[in-house]
């Protein structure tokens, strides 16, 4: 058959980031720096590594500095040029040259499913990737690439999952699934934020998806005008699971949820420890904070 070709990645970044207040009162959560770069730049770099050339941000009116980060800043460039800061100039320009940015608005923050639905007119009838703007993953093969390979081989939509401890399942969407290969599952059903006692598994969905355009029809159907609560992506995915058209892949690698302060701080230290210039001093400062018990 025809191999599924994935070119676009939808990156929802329109949420209020209430867990990260007051830091996010005016600064988007996705722009919080993780060591030298804003969080969302790692997402875009992951997309580039997986050959996804068009990034579709689903954005909010107060958060347009996210798009600006991936554009030129001519005033800054001219200063760096004049002061002969060539290396910084290169880094600042590179970000603008990374990808095509397409931006759509989510006018009301009605949940992740609703955010994805906002990208419908841009994505049209193609399979597409989706990565939430605040969930960072690092491994030798980019998280989204791990999903693309399975989606192409099986010609089906795929969600990324990771095992979490039982007491954490109530913060996630969880799959009810059957293992069909190494790290691979056929999804029979999904549960949104289940109580630990009734969770079908401890495999939690973590912000990486390869989706087929039929997801839009399912989300549209659920997005009725009288709806009161947020439209979760999990709800739309359930319809696909019930038709036997959804797989899950257990993602390999490090993961940091930027909306969680412990993960956020750990991500900063992780990158600091990998940086030659910073590592030794950082280790020393950490040791001052955590003196060894004698």
Q: Residue 104 in contact with residue 122, Cβ under 8 Å?
A: yes
Torsion, CA 132, CA 105, CA 233, CA 111, rounded to 10? 90
The smaller minimum CB distance to ligand UTP, of residues 7 and 19, is found at: 19
Site string for ligand UTP, 201-240 (x = CB under 6 A): ----------------------------------------
Least distance from C-beta 51 to ligand UTP, angstroms? 22
| CA 36 and chain centroid, separation | 19
Q: Residue 171 in contact with residue 193, Cβ under 8 Å?
A: yes
The residues in 29-88 that bind ligand UTP, with binding defined as CB under 6 A, are 29-30, 58
Residue nearest to ligand UTP (CB): 15
The footprint of ligand UTP on this chain (CB under 6 A) covers a number of residues equal to: 23
Main-chain phi, psi angles of 14, to 5 degrees: -100, 0
> How far is Cα 257 from Cα 17, in angstroms, rounded to an integer?
12
Structure tokens at 105: 């608005």
Nearest CA-CA partner of 278 in 92, 36, 39:
36
Site string for ligand UTP, 101-140 (x = CB under 6 A): -----x--xxxx-xx----------------xxx------
The smaller minimum CB distance to ligand UTP, of residues 78 and 109, is found at: 109
Residues of this chain that interact with ligand UTP (CB under 6 A) are: 12-20, 29-30, 58, 106, 109-112, 114-115, 132-134, 259
């Amino acid at each position: 058959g025809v191999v599924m070709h994935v070119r676009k990645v939808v990156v929802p970044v329109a949420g209020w980031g209430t867990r990260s207040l007051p830091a996010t009162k005016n600064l988007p959560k996705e722009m919080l720096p993780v060591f030298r770069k804003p969080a969302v730049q790692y997402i875009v770099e992951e997309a580039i590594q997986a050959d996804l050339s068009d990034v579709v941000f689903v954005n909010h009116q107060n958060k347009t500095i996210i798009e600006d980060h991936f554009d030129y800043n001519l005033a800054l460039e001219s200063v760096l040029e004049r002061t002969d800061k060539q290396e910084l100039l290169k880094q600042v320009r590179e970000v603008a040259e990374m990808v095509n940015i397409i931006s759509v608005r989510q006018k009301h923050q009605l949940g992740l499913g609703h955010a994805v639905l906002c990208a419908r007119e841009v994505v049209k009838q193609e399979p597409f990737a989706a990565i939430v703007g605040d969930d960072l993953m690092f491994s030798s093969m980019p998280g989204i690439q791990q999903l693309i390979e399975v989606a192409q081989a099986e010609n089906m939509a795929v969600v990324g999952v990771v095992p979490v401890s039982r007491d954490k399942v109530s913060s996630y969407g969880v799959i009810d699934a059957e293992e069909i290969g190494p790290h691979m599952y056929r999804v029979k059903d999904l549960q949104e934020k289940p109580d630990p006692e009734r969770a079908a598994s401890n495999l939690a969905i973590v912000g990486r998806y390869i989706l087929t355009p039929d997801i839009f029809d399912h989300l549209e159907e659920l997005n009725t005008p009288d709806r009161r609560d947020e439209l979760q992506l999990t709800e739309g995915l359930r319809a696909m699971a019930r038709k036997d058209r959804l797989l899950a892949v257990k993602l390999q690698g490090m993961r940091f949820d930027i909306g969680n302060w412990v993960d956020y701080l750990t991500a900063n230290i992780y990158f600091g420890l990998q940086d030659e210039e910073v590592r030794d001093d950082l280790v020393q400062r950490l040791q001052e904070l955590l003196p060894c018990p004698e």
